[in-house]
Amino acid sequence: MKMRTLGTRGLNVSALGLGCMGLSFGLGPAVDKQEGIALIRAAVEKGITFFDTAEVYGPWANEELVGEALAPFRGRVAIATKFGFDIAQQGGVNLGGVNSRPAQIKAVAEASLKRLRVERIDLFYQHRVDPEVPIEDVAGAVKELIQEGKVQHFGLSEAGAKTIRRAHAVQPVTALQSEYSLFWREPEAEILPTLEELGIGFVPFSPLGKGFLTGKIDETTTFDPSDFRNIVPRFTPEARKANLALVEVLKALAAEKGATPAQLALAWLLAQKPWIVPIPGTTKLHRLEENLGGAALELTAEDLRKIDEASAKITIQGARYPEHLQKLVGR
């Protein structure tokens, strides 16, 4: 596995990370704990050194799983986690909404350190921007945690360009995590140029379009009642049927390279910038291995031109979030 550096702050990680959320939360029932541990440890054995979790995934269950799974590999891996949702620190109840008050940030950090079984959080993201708390106060709180040795790097998630600049002026931001893929290319307009200017790395989540770009989902696919995709406008049966046009393009181009659509989609992302580190998630070992093949797939300038030309002819149908969640992004 090749390594990459996120931003200019010296965070060196594998070119692909592992998004761990789906093992516990959001995409159907949680996997058996031992299966989750085995998958995470298999990822380490195969060269992945960057693992993504968050307090809200559960809440808490995913951090606990990641902490136990990675306990034997301290010093060999980097763990990213997140604060910013309003979760009661007693009982783990998600109160709804966001909360990035400095006292909450520090309480979350202390609790996450215990669940992750580490002495320092490698990358601590604000999960969503809190409109009630100036971003300067958020950055200042994380700066204090860095000075105390409890956090190494500061990150933001789904923040807008102006917020990124304001935060970066107080405490340099190492990485931004936001959705980016051939299924969602909005970051190219303003976010990527801002990150490049400021020397901030980019961690795309849902790099396979929440599974859609794998080619394994169509308009007849049914999701578990607990699966987040049930409320996503882009995943209505009608939208899925229309959006399969993009998948068909990927299938054809992937076949020319002897690859799968998922591998092509990941290779395309990696080819965009040397400081991009996608974090595809999976619950299955064979999908993990397939994704790793995307990191090994080399695309030529001609390949990239073909992908861009073909995808430009397709208009993706459906919003990527329902309205109540869309309000939380790009602030």
Nearest to 215 by CA among 273, 259, 177: 259
Nearest to 259 by CA among 288, 283, 295, 285: 295
Distance CA 324, CA 305 (A): 36
The two three-digit tokens of residue 188, written as one number? 């190219």
Helix (H) or strand (E) holding 264: helix 261-272
Rounded-to-integer distance, Cα 329 and Cα 331, Å: 6
Q: Which residue has the tokens 């790395």?
A: 201
Q: Strand 121-126: give its sheet, edge to edge.
A: 18-19, 50-52, 78-83, 121-126, 151-157, 173-179, 201-205
Rounded to 5°, angle at Cα 275 from 288 and 277: 15
In contact, 177 and 157? CB cutoff 8 Å: yes
Catalytic residues: 57
Mark residue 206 as left, alpha or beta (left: phi above 0; alpha: psi -120 to 50; beta: remaining). Answer: left
Whether residue 175 contacts residue 7, with contact meaning beta carbons closer than 8 Å, is answered with yes
